[in-house]
Amino acid sequence: MKTLKGKIIVITGASSGIGEAMAREYAAAGAKVVLGARSVEKLQQITAEIQSKGGQAAFAGVDVTCPEECRRLIDTAVSTFGGIDVLICNAGLSMRAAFEEVDLKVLHKLMDVNFWGAVNCCKYALPYIRESKGSIVGISSVAGLHGLPGRTGYSASKYAMTGFLETLRIENLKRGIHVMIACPGFTASNVRFSALTADGSQQGETPRDESKMMTAEEVAHRVERGILKRKRLCLMEIEGRATYFFKKFCPSFVDKMFYFVMSKEPDSPFK
């Protein structure tokens, strides 16, 4: 694949942040994008803006925790554009709480959205991806490369997604499909505002300086390059590359770095 022009791309979590940036950027590159998320009004608005610029887009309201709704998203892509070349499992939710304090329902919720959401979409999209010999992309995280303190459920859900997608890659080794795991570091978006706290309520604010983070557009661009090059793993910046490299040789050093960095956050849930 040299360009995304003409490719049919389904993106979950396309109402905000990285998903929205991917939808806009890939449509501008000539892809036919299909947007999924729960905020239907936001999807309607993004779709209309893409179309007003001459792009091709469709959307379906979907809660990725519901298999039937994921089936509807996939059906929307197939009935509107005739197939699927790329599925991007991007819908995600974060958390911030120490494990000893967190209500277990928070961890279940994160698994439901981040892990089961990806599984549900892959289940219905796989036959079409096989037909097109296309790509499945999981938007994981640096927290999916090494455990991130205060985010037990988040890291676990991203590790689970990696295990699932790696297995899918091997099962389909002879079928020409491409599976990529993308691991952004801190990226300016809504993710920390919507993150769940110990009791399951939304954090509503960010403990970090969002202006110093990578932009969602930059992440979208790197994911695009990864798709075109059919990469297995898409690391974004120094945090991801250093984590990946040092984990192989001195994982306890990475433990200490993660502890140091995350315990410095204001109101860090662990000290």
Residues that bind ligand NDP in the complex, under the rule CB under 6 A: 12-19, 37-39, 62-65, 90-94, 113, 117, 139, 141, 184, 186-187, 189-191, 194, 216
**Which phi-psi region, left, alpha or beta, contains residue 83 (left: φ > 0; alpha: ψ -120 to 50)?**
left
Provide the minimum distance between the beta carbon of 134 and ligand NDP in the complex, in angstroms, as a whole number. Answer: 20
Provide the minimum distance between the beta carbon of 25 and ligand NDP in the complex, in angstroms, as a whole number. Answer: 13
In the complex with ligand NDP, the residue whose CB is nearer, 75 or 131, is: 75
In the complex with ligand NDP, the residue whose CB is nearer, 172 or 190, is: 190
Provide the minimum distance between the beta carbon of 43 and ligand NDP in the complex, in angstroms, as a whole number. Answer: 8
225 vs 234: CA distance, rounded Å: 9
77 vs 231: CA distance, rounded Å: 24
Q: Which residue has the tokens 């796989």?
A: 126
Q: Which of 154, 159, 244, 259 is catalytic?
A: 154
Q: Which residue has the tokens 């469709």?
A: 58
64 vs 120: CA distance, rounded Å: 7
Provide the minimum distance between the beta carbon of 206 and ligand NDP in the complex, in angstroms, as a whole number. Answer: 10
| Three-state SS at 34 | strand
In the complex with ligand NDP, the residue whose CB is nearer, 117 or 134, is: 117
User: Positive or negative CA dihedral for 171, 37, 20, 188?
Assistant: negative
User: Positive or negative CA dihedral for 32, 139, 211, 101?
Assistant: positive
In the complex with ligand NDP, the residue whose CB is nearer, 116 or 128, is: 116
Active site residue 244: no
Give the residue numbers annotated as catalytic, written as ranges.
154
